[in-house]
Amino acid sequence: MKRALQSKNKFKFVDGSIKNPGTSHHLYDSWVRCNTTIFGWITRTLSQEIAQSIVYFESAQDLWEDLKDRFSKGDYFRISDLLQEIHSIKQGDRSVSTYHTELKTLWEELEVLRETPSCTCNVKCSCKFASTVKRNEEVEYVI
């Protein structure tokens, strides 16, 4: 969904970059139109049960934040299962291409579920935290 919104240049409506300008602002009608469209796009991707639980939200950003809070937290059991699969997978009688694709798919799913820490300091960070985290991920990927 994030990619779809980005491809239509609408992700800024859900990440908080573009806020409701207020009813007296000359762009208010345009904002309402975009907000309603995005709300509809997101709602159409939801199951009926989940869609019924979000009918009282007014903005696509509020909807996005609610869904993010509910569903984007790392599933620790799935993370554990993925790590176990990654560390136990063998090529066996699969082609190198098939084996590599399966392994890459597992790693990509793990990256989505695991939150990568990042520095949020206002001053340029000199502790090399980000590069250390990246290097550790690369080492783990090789192993």
The ranges assigned to domains in the chain are 2-71, 76-142
Percentage of the chain with pLDDT > 90?
45
User: Do 88 and 115 form a contact (C-beta atoms < 8 A)?
Assistant: no
Structure tokens of 22? 């207020």
Higher pLDDT, 117 or 38: 38
What confidence category does residue 105 fall into, taking pLDDT thresholds of 50, 70 and 90? very high
Cα 136 to Cα 130: distance, rounded to the nearest angstrom: 10
pLDDT tens digits for 49-89? 998 898 889 999 999 999 888 876 667 888 899 999 999 99
pTM equals 0.56
What confidence category does residue 119 fall into, taking pLDDT thresholds of 50, 70 and 90? low
